[in-house]
Structure formats: structure tokens, C-alpha cells
Chains A and B, each alone.
Chain A
Amino acid sequence: MTINHRLQVQDLTAGYGDRTIIKGLGIDLLPGRISAIVGANACGKSTLLRVMARLLRPRGGQVALDGAAIHGMPTRALARVLGLLPQSPIAPEGITVADLVGRGRHPHHGLMSRWGPADDHAVATALEATRITDLADRTVDELSGGQRQRAWIAMALAQDTDLLLLDEPTTYLDVAHQIELLDLLCDLNARRGTTIVMVLHDLNLAARYADQLIALRAGRVHAQDSPDAVLTEATIAQVFGLSARVMRDPVSGRPMMLPIGRHRLAAE
């Protein structure tokens, strides 16, 4: 079993150019669990994930891995512990699925070390876990959207990190593929104990799959707790400015929200 690393965001301030997007934000991610970051557009979700993955330097505060600031850590060492799947990664033209997944081994190699059996094994296991072994020799350009996303997840699996950040991994997928992908992440969490942190748009899926919901509002944490505590009518009103009904999802037993618009309302 892997030892779980602890990722904490402490008093973080970050932004681009003149704009400050995140102000004094703090979160403590549950090790070995699934967390979902939710919030309205432009509330700082993706910016937060970028700072957590060290793609963006914080203006103030820090992101700490086991107590040490990640911005001071060696890049390659960090990439063996913390993986990221960006929102729209680029597959090099003509690359095969096996080679794409193999790219996940990059942080495990130095200047001199060569591809070895451990790498083959990691790639084969990742292909199998995502059920794309049959597609290994196909090029990524040939794949459907769902298969392609699975290939990217497989690459992240081959990277074999204890923590995995995902920026809206279900975008562009139909509902069946969304569920399949989130199930896959649950498997990964259950089998390897990988800590998963993802930005998700769909509140109901977030509440269903995450152990911890982090609701952001205007660059600050509005609430971070279990889905039951966070997905309430009051929170939805404050975070999204939307009135909604929250009910128990009969399938999962988790909370589920139904938005209330101005039209199509059944007569009381």
C-alpha cells in the first residue's frame, strides 16, 4: 500500500498579470480520498488547480506537500508524487496509445536511465486498468472522445503518482462516458489509494463521486466538507446565485440538486 502524501493549500493568493484571482485561500485535502472543486465560472477553480500542480507561481502563501512548499521542490521528484491531467492536453501527431501512455514514465527517468521492464509493466498495467489494451497500437487521432480520455488517464496511471489532479476530466464526454470515467477514478482510488482532486462542473456527479466537496466563491473557499454538508440549497444560492431544491439521490444516497429556473415549473 502506498503511503499517502498530504497536500495542503495555505493562505494562497494567485492570479495572472494585474488580476488577482485567488485571495487568501486555504484547503486541506483528505489523503487517500476523492475531492471535487466546484464553483461558478471564473471563481478560480482552474487557477487553484494550476497553482496546486505548480504550473503557476503563487503571489502569497503556499501549496505544501507533507509540509514542504512544492514550489521549492525538484520538478522531477514532484512529478513522481503529483500528477496532473490538464483540461485539453495535446497528443503529438501520429503518436500511438502505448507511446502516449509511455510518456507518463518521464519523471521516472533521469538523463542516462533507459526504458526497462518496470516501465513496460507500468504501461501494460495502466492500459489494462483503463481497458484500452486492445487499442495500444492505434494512433491517438483515431480514437473516439471517450477512448482518448481513457488513454490520457492511462498515461496518468503510468506516471504512478500518489496524488492526481484533474481539470474537468468529463468535459466533451457524453453521459455514459462521464460515468465510466468517474468510475475509473473511483477504482483507482480504491485500488491504489490514490488521492484524487478534480475540478468538476456537474454538481450532482461531484456530490456522488467525491468524499469532499470544496465550493469556491470569488477566489475564496466558501465551504469544504462532505457532500451532505456542502450541497445544500443555501450553499447553491450563495455560490452560484441559483435557487435549487436538494433531494436525496435514490441511486447513491448522496445529495442531489434540481435547479429552479424561471420557466417550466410544475404547478404547485
Chain B
Amino acid sequence: MIATLATPGRHRRLAHRRIVMLALAGMLAGLFALTLMLGQSLTPPGDVLRVLAGQDVPGASFTVGQLRLPRAVIATLAGMCLGLGGAAFQVMLRNPLASPDIIGVSAGASAAAVFAIVFLSVSGASLSIIAIAAGLGVAALIYLLSFRDGVSGARLILVGIGISAMINSFIAYALVRAPGWSLQEALRWLGGSVNAVRIEQAGPLLAALVLFGGLVLSRSRDLETLRMGDDMAAALGVRVGAVRLSVMMGAVGMIAVATSVTGPIAFVAFLAGPIALRIIGPHGSVLIPAALTGAILVLGGDYVGQFLLPARYPVGVVTGALGAPFLIWLIIRANRTGGSL
């Protein structure tokens, strides 16, 4: 008798959560199918499937196989990395402003890439490795600078915003000094885009998602408990410091790898968590819904930028236009209520 008292509400919410997750996944799948079928021209679903199965379909093999598929795959994977990494940071530090793209992790990655292009004439895979290393390095620097008997969210955000400003001034300097021939390549690293991506680039993204994403998701229950404050979480058996460190490593790894492939796609890491939270509601972990939301944002944003606007824009411009007003709204709201993710 007693045992059933608390359960109906809980099971109802779990069922609701499952439906919403399925709806998000369905939306992502639909969007993915749409981007494969409909671009400048319409490819019938049958042709798309045949291309995916590896058959040679005149015309469709190129547009779908070479142009649309790599783009959609990279956009989906990068979006998942950004959404999951961003939401993990926000939940861990109980602050939506604590997203890695606000505190300068992605800026660090792109600044290193710009520096390497302009001053060292690096290109190709080594450029990606430099960008990833710089992303991790900046995150470590922020962590160390904000460390004092543990890391508090507010200190980390402020240090991150300061570092971010320094990095941006450095980027501006590098661009002023850049010779014309490298400027084009450097600019590609400053606005996120999935133009001209190759399917091979899915490899590192997938590896990051499995490795770093797995690390973050394995801490999902600890992260949920951390939302009740560090003290309460510790009293409930969470090793706060260890969880923080591993979640931070996983999230930064995903963001840095994604940035090394697509450049910094503005605000996706920052937006995915709060949007997912509003869709899924406050029960249970927001991490997987945030990964799906991130993928939808990048895939949808890229589609809008390509086909629904008067000119063609890279996805970063679209998500940037979406994110900036949200950032302002969030700051105003946080001032009023002290609201949190």
C-alpha cells in the first residue's frame, strides 16, 4: 500500500519524458532526411536511400553523397557535441552563463588556429590538433585561475569572460597582421560553418562523442545531485571535486573537437541546454535532450542559412542571431530571479 503512494506521479513523468525524447529524436531524424532530400533541387527519397546504400545514382550520388550527406552528418555530430558539452557545464555550475562558448573555450581553440594560420602557416590536420590542444589548454587555465579551495561557478565564469576578452583582442591583432592570402582561411575559423566539410571529419567527432560524451553521461546522476548545491551533493555521496573535473574534461574535449572541425558555431553550446530544459521539463537529466537539441539547432540553422534567407550564410551567423537576444533575455531574467538551469 505505502509503496504505491509515491509512484504514480513519478511514472507519469518518466513516460512523459520518454515521449518528449522520442519527439526530439524524431524531429532530428526528419530534419536530417529533409536536408538530404531538399536543397537547390529535390531528390526523391528512393534515390536518397539508394545513394545511402552505396549504389551509383546519376546526379544524386554527387549532390546527396558528396554535398548533402557529409554536411548533415557533420552538423548533427558537431551539434550533439556542442549541446551535450554546453549543458554539462551549465548543470555542473548551476548557471546557464557557464557555457564553454561564453567562457572562452571555443574562442581559445579558434584563436590558436588563427595564430597558426597567420604566423606559422600551418594547415590541415595539424591545425585541428592545435585548435583542440588550445581549447583544452584554455579550459585548464581558467580552471587553475579560478581554483581556491575548489572551484565556484561564479568565479569560473568571471575568469572565463576575462580570458575570453583577452583571446578576442588577440584574434583582432592577428587579423590585422594577417597577409591577404591567409585572411580567408583565418576567417573560416572565426565564424562556424559546415561548408565544404568532408565525411572523413565525422571520425574525430564520433570519437569525441563516444569517449568524452560517454564520460559526461556516466556522471549524469551525480550531475543531477549537484544541482542541489555542493554541500548537499557531497552529503549525498557525490565526490564533488572528482565529478567536476571529469565532467569538465569531457565537456571541454567535445567542444574543442567540434570547434576544430566546424569553427566556433556561435551560441549552440549555450542555447541547447536551456531550450532542452524548457522542452523536457525539470525532471531527470537534461543532457541527452540537450545533445539532440544541439544537433537540431546546427542542422536546422545550416538549412535556414543555406536556403531560407535571401543570401547564403554560414550556420554560425544564424545561430548567432538566435543566441544574442536569448543571452540578453537570460541576463535580465537572472538579475530578477537568480534563475538557474
Q: Which of A24-32, A89-97, A201-209, A248-256 has 4 or more CB atoms under 8 Å from chain B?
A: A89-97
A111 sits at the interface (CB 8 A): yes
- Total number of residue pairs linking A and B with CB closer than 8 Å: 109
- Chain A stretch 91-122: residues in CB contact (< 8 A) with chain B: 91-96, 98-99, 101-104, 106-107, 109, 111, 117, 120-121
Asked if A102 and B229 make an inter-chain contact with CB atoms under 8 angstroms apart, the answer reads no
Asked if B232 and A120 make an inter-chain contact with CB atoms under 8 angstroms apart, the answer reads no
B283 sits at the interface (CB 8 A): yes
B165 sits at the interface (CB 8 A): no
CB proximity of B60 to chain A, nearest CB, Å: 45
Asked if B282 and A89 make an inter-chain contact with CB atoms under 8 angstroms apart, the answer reads no
Interface band, chain B: 20 to 34
A123 sits at the interface (CB 8 A): yes
For A161, give the chain B residue with the smallest CB separation: B235
CB proximity of A194 to chain B, nearest CB, Å: 15
A157 sits at the interface (CB 8 A): no
Asked if A86 and B237 make an inter-chain contact with CB atoms under 8 angstroms apart, the answer reads no
B335 sits at the interface (CB 8 A): no
B68 sits at the interface (CB 8 A): no
* A106 partner, pick from B2, B237, B341, beta carbons under 8 A: B237
Cα A139 to Cα B282 in complex, Å, equals: 10
* B283 partner, pick from A50, A99, A128, beta carbons under 8 A: A99
Measured between beta carbons, the chain A residues less than 8 angstroms from B229 are 86, 89-90
Asked if B228 and A89 make an inter-chain contact with CB atoms under 8 angstroms apart, the answer reads yes
Cα A68 to Cα B224 in complex, Å, equals: 30
A159 sits at the interface (CB 8 A): yes
Measured between beta carbons, the chain B residues less than 8 angstroms from A16 are 149
Cα A91 to Cα B233 in complex, Å, equals: 12
* A98 partner, pick from B10, B149, B282, B339, beta carbons under 8 A: B10
B234 sits at the interface (CB 8 A): yes
Asked if A84 and B235 make an inter-chain contact with CB atoms under 8 angstroms apart, the answer reads yes
B340 sits at the interface (CB 8 A): yes
Listed in ascending order, the chain A residues whose CB lies under 8 Å from chain B are 16-17, 50, 53-55, 75-80, 82-86, 89-96, 98-99, 101-104, 106-107, 109, 111, 117, 120-121, 123-125, 127-128, 133, 136-137, 139, 159
